[in-house]
Amino acid sequence: MRLGLRGQERLRLAFIYILCAIVLIWALAPIYWVFVSSISTRKELYARPYKIWFPSQPSFESYQTIFTQGAKFRAGGFSPTADLMGAGLRNSIIISVGAAGIVTLLATGAGYAFARMRFPGRNLIFLLIMFMLPLPIWVSLIALFFLMSQLELIDTLLGLILIFVTLLLPLAVWMMTTFVRDIPAEIQDAARVDGANRWRLVYSIILPLARPGMVAVFLVSMLSTWNNFLIPLIFTRSNDSQPLTIVLTLFIGQYEVAWEDMSAAAVVTMLPPFIMALFFQRYLVRGLTMGAVK
Closest residue by Cα to residue 256 from 83, 33, 76 = 76
| Dihedral sign, Cα of residue 276, residue 281, residue 284, residue 287 | negative
Q: Is 50 helix (H, G, I), strand (E, B) or coil?
A: coil
What pLDDT sits at residue 2?
54
Q: Residues 124, 21: one domain?
A: no
Q: Is residue 161 part of a domain?
A: yes
Query: What total of structural domains would you count in the chain?
Result: 2
Q: Residues 33, 154: one domain?
A: no
Q: Which domain holds residue 52?
A: 5-63
224 in Cβ contact with 25 (< 8 Å) = no
Q: Residues 179, 104: one domain?
A: yes
pLDDT per residue rounded down to tens, the chain (294 residues)? 455 557 778 888 888 899 999 999 898 888 888 888 888 877 777 776 666 677 777 788 888 878 777 655 555 444 456 677 888 889 999 999 999 999 999 999 888 888 887 888 888 888 888 888 777 777 788 888 888 899 888 989 999 999 999 999 998 998 888 888 887 777 777 777 767 677 777 777 778 788 888 888 898 899 899 999 989 999 988 888 889 998 888 777 666 677 788 888 888 888 888 888 788 777 667 656 654 544
Q: Is residue 78 part of a domain?
A: no
Q: Is residue 281 part of a domain?
A: yes
CB atoms within 10 A of CB 231: 20
Report the CATH number that the domain containing residue 210 is assigned in CATH. 1.10.3720.10
- Beta-carbon contacts of 39 under 8 Å, excluding residues fewer than 6 positions away, are 55, 58, 59, 60, 62
Q: Is residue 138 part of a domain?
A: yes
Q: Is 255 helix (H, G, I), strand (E, B) or coil?
A: coil
Q: Is residue 68 part of a domain?
A: no
Q: Is 252 helix (H, G, I), strand (E, B) or coil?
A: strand
Q: Residues 22, 53: one domain?
A: yes
Q: Is residue 153 part of a domain?
A: yes
Q: Residues 55, 178: one domain?
A: no
Q: Residues 91, 193: one domain?
A: yes
231 in Cβ contact with 155 (< 8 Å) = no
Instruction: Give 78-117 as a DSSP string.
Output: TS-HHHHHHHHHHHHHHHHHHHHHHHHHHHHHHHHHHHH-
Q: Is 218 helix (H, G, I), strand (E, B) or coil?
A: helix
Q: Is residue 69 part of a domain?
A: no
What pLDDT sits at residue 78?
45
What pLDDT sits at residue 14?
86
What pLDDT sits at residue 137?
77
Q: Residues 160, 223: one domain?
A: yes
Q: Residues 97, 35: one domain?
A: no
Q: Residues 145, 33: one domain?
A: no
| φ and ψ at residue 252, rounded to 5 degrees | -95, 110
Q: Residues 56, 119: one domain?
A: no
Q: Residues 204, 114: one domain?
A: yes
What pLDDT sits at residue 106?
93
pTM of the full structure: 0.82
Q: Residues 43, 177: one domain?
A: no
Q: Is residue 293 part of a domain?
A: no
